[in-house]
Amino acid sequence: MSFRTVVITRQSKISYKNRFLVVKHESDEKYIHLSEIDTVIVDSISVSISAYLLKELSDNKINIIFCDDKHNPFGELSSYYSRHNTSKKIKEQIAWKQSDKNKLWQMIVKNKIINQATLLRKTYSDKCDLILWIVNIFLDNFYKDNCKRYCTGV
């Protein structure tokens, strides 16, 4: 049963050996059995990953999330065949109407801004009201492409 989320934050080399994910950092070496891993998050751009490990993680239906130098996720590797109907779901999503895709994108951006507002409420309560105003006015009434960029710059 997979239950671990493995987060790699330092310059490392990760590879595969005998059903284990191997993390090498300087003289330190750690082994984690693949059956225990649910997700691997690579939160450093200084990580070397073997192609064979990527294949094994995919075969074992373990997701890999890659983050940029600002620690924001920029990509993901997940198996196409992790479920019996994955290909069908991908084809259905490709066939969505553009208006449905736009609504989904708007919901994603709105939730990201709400999450930023929650963080601001905990750290800088004076700026939180501005973020909430932007969410309520701009996103509920009309969608602007640069609204998210504006909120992240506040």
3-state secondary structure the chain: CCCEEEEECCCEEEEEECCEEEEEECCEEEEEEHHHEEEEEECCCCEEECHHHHHHHHHCCCEEEEECCCCCEEEEECCCCCCCCHHHHHHHHHCCCHHHHHHHHHHHHHHHHHHHHHHHHHHCHHHHHHHHHHHHHHHHHCCCCCHHHHHHHC
pLDDT at 41: 95
pLDDT at 79: 76
Evaluated on CA atoms 16, 21, 23, 28, the torsion sign reads: negative
- Dist. CA 121–CA 128, nearest whole Å: 5
pLDDT at 137: 67
pLDDT at 107: 87
For residue 112, the one-letter residue type is K
- Dist. CA 140–CA 105, nearest whole Å: 13
pLDDT at 119: 76
pLDDT at 143: 53
Regions of the chain with pLDDT less than 50 = 144
- Dist. CA 129–CA 116, nearest whole Å: 12
pLDDT at 85: 73
CATH homologous superfamily for the domain 4-79: CRISPR-associated endonuclease Cas1, N-terminal domain (3.100.10.20)
